[in-house]
Every structure is written in structure tokens, then in C-alpha cells.
Amino acid sequence: MILVTGAHGALASTILAELDARGVPAVGGTRTPAAGQRYVDFDDPARLDLGGTDVLVLVSAGYAEDDRVVARHRAVLDAARRDGVRSVVYTSVTTGGDHLAFALAHRVTERMLRDSGLAWTILRNGLYAELFGALLRWSADGLESAFGTGSLAAVTRADLAAAAASVAAAPRSHTSRTYDLVGVPVTATDVADHLGVVHRTIGLGEYRDRLLADPLLLPFQPPMLHSIASAVRHGVLSGTGPDLAGLLGRAATDPLPFAVAAATAGRAVSARP
């Protein structure tokens, strides 16, 4: 049995839909199970039960401080070993993201997985096209961001889900492989041009001040978001590679329409009273 964690999340639900479309049986693991799903909460290790799972697609639960994310992933890997899981497919962060504020928890998880004795595959996911578009802010005359002229080799969630489904369906072909799943470079100006508006770059200092002044953000979020802006601006997330197309068996999807759609959705939100 294939078990995909984070089943109500955007990536895991798309992986499950991909597997279903391919006729590959899989079950979703989630903190809030509906019929046919399994209860899986990495923050509740005493109740983690992965019995009957051959292939675990461990979708990172990364929205927290490093220590909490590492503890979550350690708990699920301990349960995987104890419960006889054969292969673990882990969704990590792209190699170019080594300097992102949230990379440490991913790299520590990768190390725990390699040392676990379990068969493993690491999917180093690039940043989502949808995320890139959502991080662009609307001003009176167009878009603004701290990305400058830097590009991001953005990937659609759907492509990452399709790649994960391919690996989960045939894990033995991918054992002990680390794939860097980056897409096609896109800039904030590309998104603005597509929408027929200007893109204005703000400084990283101004961006930091805005993040720190935002009462809606949790403590881990300002450094997380600032590191994404800094990494894009300095060009360390622009590199492309062959792994995504290799797993997809086709070229990566153009991320621009997805970034544009996310930016457009953000305009509706910013227009709300």
C-alpha cells in the first residue's frame, strides 16, 4: 500500500489524484481523516501507525521552526522503521535552496532518512510557481516585490505531484536517488509584463521591515519569506536541470501562467476592505 501524508494539503492531494488517475491504489494520511483516510499527525507520535504501508510518501510538514519540523519528521521515520515500511519518498527542497532559512530541517531530514536503513528517494522540490506569484504584492500601479531582476526556476505543484507519483508507483527504480526538481526561470517582471502592469523592486531591508511589522505572520515566517526573496534576488534559485523532465517523461510545464494566476488571485485579496 502507498500512503501519502498531508493528504488535505495542496501537494499531497494532487499526488493522490495523480496516482488515482494512473490506477495505482494509494491512501491519504492526514490529521483530519475522512472516510478511507488514515490518521497521521507527526505531532502525535504515540498514535502514529504506519502498519500495512509499503511505500510512504512523506510530504514535508514544514510550516514551523526547525526543531519542530525535525521532530515531526524524526517521529514519522521512527514509526516507518518500526512498522515495516519498505520505501520512503521524501519531498525536500531544491539543492539551490541550501541557504533558505527552512533548508536546515530538510537537509537534516534527508540525513535521518539516509541513515535510517529504509529504502529512500529524495525529491528536492523547487519552489512553486504558485508561491512565486502569491508573494508578489499589489500597489497602486502594479506589482512590487524584493525579488529584483532575479529569476526563480519555478515548478508547478502539478508537475511535482506527477513526479512524486511516478516515483511512488515504482520506488525500486528510484532507490537511493536524489532528484533536483527545478523548473523554468521566471522573474517578477515576466509576471508583471504578462498582466500589463509594472513591477517595482523594493529593498531587502524594506521587505524585512514590512515582514516584521506584519501581525499576521508567525515567528518563523519573516525569516522564511525574507530568505526566499534574498535567494531569488541573488540568483541562487535560477538554475535548471534535467531531473524533473526525466521523471515526467516530458518537458516541465511553463510556470508563468501559474504564477500569473496566483498573482491575480492576490489582487482580489488585496482589494478586499
CB-nearer residue toward ligand NAP: 75 or 202: 75
CB-nearer residue toward ligand NAP: 45 or 142: 45
Contact between 131 and ligand NAP per CB under 6 A: yes
Dist. CA 30–CA 58, nearest whole Å: 11
**Least gap, CB of 198 to ligand NAP (angstroms):** 25
Residue 188 burial (CB count, 10 A): 28
Contact (Cβ atoms closer than 8 angstroms) between residue 260 and residue 180: no
**Near ligand NAP by CB under 6 A: residue from 2, 4, 7, 135:** 7
* Stretch of 9-17, 18-26, 204-212, 233-241 lying at the interface with ligand NAP (CB under 6 A): 9-17
Contact (Cβ atoms closer than 8 angstroms) between residue 99 and residue 133: no
Taking CA 23 as the corner, what is the angle to CA 18 and CA 24, rounded to the nearest 5 degrees? 75
Q: How far apart, in Å, do the first and last CA atoms of the chain sit? A: 48
Using CB positions, name the residue nearest to ligand NAP: 9
**Near ligand NAP by CB under 6 A: residue from 2, 3, 4, 6:** 6
Q: Please state whether beta strands 142-145 and 137-139 pair in parallel, antiparallel, or not at all (unpaired).
A: antiparallel
Contact between 42 and ligand NAP per CB under 6 A: yes
**Near ligand NAP by CB under 6 A: residue from 5, 95, 121, 230:** 5
Q: Please name every residue paired with 180 in a beta bridge, in sequence order, or none if there are none.
A: 124
Contact between 61 and ligand NAP per CB under 6 A: yes
**Near ligand NAP by CB under 6 A: residue from 90, 120, 128, 207:** 128
H or E element, residue 231:
helix 221-233
* Stretch of 58-66, 110-118, 249-257, 263-271 lying at the interface with ligand NAP (CB under 6 A): 58-66
Per DSSP, the three-state class of 115 is: coil
Number of shown-chain residues binding ligand NAP (CB under 6 A): 26
CB-nearer residue toward ligand NAP: 40 or 77: 40
Contact between 11 and ligand NAP per CB under 6 A: yes
Contact (Cβ atoms closer than 8 angstroms) between residue 223 and residue 93: no
DSSP string for 90-103: EEEE-GGGGGSTTH
Taking CA 151 as the corner, what is the angle to CA 213 and CA 189, rounded to the nearest 5 degrees? 75
**Near ligand NAP by CB under 6 A: residue from 19, 26, 38, 41:** 41
Residue 220 burial (CB count, 10 A): 17
Contact (Cβ atoms closer than 8 angstroms) between residue 87 and residue 48: no
CB-nearer residue toward ligand NAP: 76 or 118: 76
Contact between 8 and ligand NAP per CB under 6 A: yes
* Stretch of 16-24, 60-68, 116-124, 253-261 lying at the interface with ligand NAP (CB under 6 A): 60-68
Binding site for ligand NAP (CB under 6 A): 5-12, 30-32, 40-43, 59-63, 72, 91, 125, 127-128, 131
